[in-house]
Amino acid sequence: MFLCKEEEKKMINFEEELKNFKPSLEVEEAEQAIYNHELTDMTDVLREIMREAKKND
């Protein structure tokens, strides 16, 4: 894509930067956000690894 000279000089690309901005959660969406929250941590991974290891044994 050919950019005009002015745009080339810019370090910040407006369209690209805009993609980084996501909508904020509204209060009504809090419940769903809690349900969708990723709660797997390293301990869960470790437990899973141990379970797999025991199964293979």
CB of 31 to other proteins, least distance (A): 9
Closest listed residue to residue 14, CA positions, set 3, 26, 29: 3
Does position 40 interact with other proteins (CB under 8 A)? The reply is yes
Q: 36-48 as b/e, with b when 16 or more CB fall inside 10 Å? A: eeeeeeeeeeeee
Binding mask 13-32 for other proteins (x = CB under 8 A): -x--xx-xx-xxxxx-xx--
Does position 3 interact with other proteins (CB under 8 A)? The reply is no
Is the CB of residue 25 less than 8 Å from the CB of residue 33?
yes
- Binding residues for other proteins, rule: CB under 8 A, are 10-12, 14, 17-18, 20-21, 23-27, 29-30, 33-34, 37, 39-44, 46-47, 50
